[in-house]
Each structure stands twice: as structure tokens, then as C-alpha cells.
Structure 1
């Protein structure tokens, strides 16, 4: 747990190879002391997906040199951290393009979703179909939209949510680190509240576990228990892909009325 700007941040992560794949091409970053979390999912069916995802989280991990969030003298404004993350991902994108050319393969790539915290705000960047969710006031809200062929079909009204879950093109993504000469990232930001829970996950989780079940796993507020429960549910549902979950929770000790994520879960 780390305290920044009066807020207490805690997190936990888990990744699993799943029940079908021979290699885990997911990678994650879980650095609450740096206010930095990420999930990267190497592109299945392409060369060295694990190399791509690991390169992303390794490079993002160096952003800690900006300084611990809230520390005196740290260059830790959210704008600065986000700008550094963008630059870092563009550099990795170029490195993966060069490595693909060196190996004479078409693509070495990975999705990415990264969450950054500074002060009492969060920002995020993403490319691909790894997701970020916010669980607040007993409501689960996706903060990212998939960059995928199926998501485009849904947006056009051609597919229902259930049909999208089982569509044969559900793994066809339209953006990824390493997929093009320029990496197109989307972004968002919010002010955080006492009791907020965030979930970063790969599609091996979101394709197997329904939103209502994700919400139930997060409602207790225990990051490690939630991460383990979510991965176990994805495995029980078939585990057809690598599975990664990073769960982050923020508490405000000075809040007038502390948020009870689930009123039934109260410590004695």
C-alpha cells in the first residue's frame, strides 16, 4: 500500500497461461508505489508475442524515474507522466517494428492498457482490446473501448453483446503496439473517489467472464482476492486464452463517509 496526496493505493495482480495455450504472451505491471499499472497481451498467431508484451511492461516500468507520486520534488504531474508513457510506447512501437523487419516477419505486436495515478487523479492510455474498468458505487463501467473488428461491428449495430462474445473475429484487433509505423493511442482521465476500484485485464478474462460476475468479484474491495477470483472464473469458463488481471483500489482516510463497496462486507 502507498499513500499519495492523502489517498491510500493498493493493488494486486495475477496472470495465468490458461488451459489451451502453450505460452503465456500476457505481461503486467503492478507498481502502486509509482502509481503505475499496465496489462499487455502479445498478439496471438504472430511471432514473439511474449517478447512484445514484456518489452512494453519493462519500458513502462522505467517511468518510475519520474518520481513517486506525491513525493516532494518529483516530476509527477499527470500530464508529464502521461506524456512520458506516450513517448515510451512510441519508442517500443518502433523497436518492435525494427525487430520484425530484422526477423523478416510481418508483425511483432501487443495490446496495451496502462493506468497512471498522480495526486487525486488517474489517466489511462490504451491500444487494442485489453481493458480498463472502474467499479464505483456498486456500478461497473468500462473506461476503454476495444480497438477491434467486433467492436466496430457492435458500434454499427450489426452485433449484440452476446453475439460479439462468440464472434469468429473476436481476436482481430485494429490497433496494437508494433502493428504500424505510428502507434495511435486513445486516452482518458478522471478524478478518483474513496472506494474506487479499477480492473486492468486482457481479453482472456473479459471474453470469458460476464460484467456482472466481474462486478461481484470487485465488490469486496480485497485486491488480491478479486484478482484471484477473476482469473479462476476465466479458467472455469474454459481458459481458452492467457488471462491477466490487475486490481487497484483507492481509499481516502479523510473522507467524511467512507465508501462501503458492498454493505454486506463489513469488518468487525
Structure 2
């Protein structure tokens, strides 16, 4: 997609059932032409997680064009609130305790983008050779670490490592965190489910993104997650922004 500001968006995605699970409860959305990307992870161990993630993605895929990033973000929040109510109703009608899903969404409009999330699916930014996680997991582990009650090493084996505190379909009112930012030429974003982030260290994520090729990076990270054990479903979306009007781009500068 090239918009009127001269930004071109490129992307690629992969989703894999992994080596242990029988059903892929992940779903992803990869719509570079619309500036719309998302990953949803149906809650493992609960009923119909695949249904939950699919409904989240299908609803986001129906977002109409918007005149501004603010309106696009509002529409995305509204759709996720609607899916939240649908999943609560579905769970009640089926006699299920929970039918839920995490979600992380990236929205692009002009030279800005926004992202919103609930749960432990993540989004990273690769800029100027540096990788930075943009989201904070909504999980018991993250809360313990933020209070300095748990080390990074202990978090890897803690009994609560898979317990999330927010998701679509678990509470009457869905709590979403969100941020917006300016986009720079060469920025790369990576959205993923915890089936990837639990298996692939951040230094290896960075190495995969150095190639600048969205498809190669997405496939490389999926392969690394499988080699790491593939204990959960794996989903990844890689997005790259290019400023077609930039006078600084050069093949000799890998940071662009």
C-alpha cells in the first residue's frame, strides 16, 4: 500500500499449529493494502479458543476506511468490545466457562500508526538496528516482574507463566491498552502470539529482522519457534514501512 503521504507498507505473516497442539487456536490478519494487521491467540485450555480468535480477526477485517488514525482506533476498539459481548453470550449459551482470545492490533494511517492489545500477544519495533517491545503483557508474571518480585530467569519456569489477566471474552467490559506513534522510514513491526515469544529470544528476533525482508523474517522466526520446541501455536506478522519520498534511503545503510 502507498498512501498520499508517500508511505509504502509491506508485510507477511505465518501461522503454525506447532509440534504439540492438535488445533491451531491462533489467527492473524495481514492487510498491508489497508494498513491493518493483527494476531489473536485463542485461550489454550479453554473451550473453543479457535472460534474466539477467528471471531476477533473476522471482526477486525470488517473495519471500514477511516479519515484519521483516531477514528480507526475508535472503530477497532468498538469492534473488539462487540466481539467481547458476543463471546460472553456464546460461552453462556454453550455452558462454557470461558471462550476467549488475546489480541494485538497494528493500524497505520498516513505517517502515524497506532496499536492496541489485551493479553500477552506482543508487538515489537525494529528501528535503526535496535529491537524494542512496545506492549506490556497483561499477565500475572508481568505484574510480579513490574513489582520486582520475580526475576527474568525465574519467570521462565514460574507456574503462573501462562496466566493472563486480560483477554477478549473474559469480562463484561474489555480493557484495552493503546498507544500511537510517528512512523519513520525503514521501521519494522513484528506482531506475535506467545507461542513465538516464549520460544524465540529477543536477540534472535532482532537477527531475523535484520534481513529487512518481511517474508524471510516471518518464516525464519516460525522455524526458530518450532526448533525451540513448538509447544504452542505460533503466529507472526512482520510489517515494514518505506517512505518513498525519503532522500536518505541507501542500500549501504541497513538501518533504513
Q: d(CA) in 2 for partners of 1:104 and 1:173?
A: 22
Q: d(CA) in 2 for partners of 1:83 and 1:59?
A: 14
Deviates further, 254-263 or 226-235: 254-263
Question: 1:69 maps to what in 2?
Answer: none
Deviates further, 29-38 or 249-258: 249-258
Pair 1:166-2:157 in alignment: yes
**Cα 1:234–1:260 shift into 2, 3 Å:** farther
Residue-by-residue CA offset, 1:44-81 (whole Å, 9 max, x unaligned): 01000000000000000001x22xxxxxxxx3300000
Q: d(CA) in 1 for partners of 2:134 and 2:252?
A: 19
Residue-by-residue CA offset, 1:232-255 (whole Å, 9 max, x unaligned): 000000000000000000011221
Provide structure 1 residue ranges, at least 5 long, that are not aligned to the other structure. Answer: 67-74
Residue-by-residue CA offset, 1:191-242 (whole Å, 9 max, x unaligned): 0000000000000000000000000000111000000000000000000000
Alignment partner of 1:238 out of 215, 229, 245 = 229
Question: 2:7 maps to what in 1?
Answer: 7
1:63-82 correspondence runs (5 A) = 63=63, 65-66=64-65, 75-82=66-73
Q: d(CA) in 2 for partners of 1:260 and 1:212?
A: 23
Report the TM-score, using the length of structure 1 for normalisation.
0.92
When the two chains are superposed, the root-mean-square deviation of aligned CA atoms in Å is 1.5
Alignment partner of 1:101 out of 66, 84, 92 = 92
SS in 2 for 1:3: coil
**Cα 1:12–1:127 shift into 2, 3 Å:** same
Report the TM-score, using the length of structure 2 for normalisation.
0.97
Q: d(CA) in 2 for partners of 1:24 and 1:35?
A: 25
**Cα 1:193–1:176 shift into 2, 3 Å:** same
Give 1:166 deviation, angstroms: 2.5
Residue-by-residue CA offset, 1:8-31 (whole Å, 9 max, x unaligned): 100000000000111100000000
Q: d(CA) in 2 for partners of 1:11 and 1:166?
A: 33
Provide structure 2 residue ranges, at least 5 long, that are not aligned to the other structure. Answer: none
SS in 2 for 1:152: helix
Question: 1:43 maps to what in 2?
Answer: 43
